[in-house]
Amino acid sequence: QVQLVESGGGLVQTGGSLRLSCAAPGRTFTFYRMGWFRQAPGKEREFVATIYRSGGTTYYTDSVKGRFTVVRDNAKNTVYLQMNSLTPMDTAVYYCAATLSGGTPYYSPTSYNYWGQGTQVTVSS
């Protein structure tokens, strides 16, 4: 069983920044692809960003391009989501996810086998 542990959520004002972390303690960080998703109250879980194993390939949903950056540190078994210029529209529970296989749509939650517990991000106006 793979455990993903998230941290870094919290309350921030509009225009502020947060950095989320997702760690896989005690496990070799060989996931093919890591993803970040978010789910606001009453809405479906949506794709935010993904990063491939090498760290050289990333994709973002349009609404966060230019504001969010996903990076990974394989030596620390950790992936990060740096979020800048936050707005109330970014308020949601953020989840990290991982998959060992490729060839599946990076934007679909069903493509990921393992999930973190979620961390709340709240942006006040």
d(CA 123, CA 14): 6
pLDDT at position 2, please? 77
Name residue 93's beta-bridge partners.
39, 120
pLDDT at position 28, please? 62
pLDDT at position 40, please? 96
d(CA 49, CA 59): 6
* Digit-coded pLDDT (tens) for 62-86: 999 999 999 998 888 899 999 999 9
Which stretches in the chain have pLDDT values below 70? Answer: 26-29
Judge whether 78 and 97 are in contact, CB under 8 Å: no
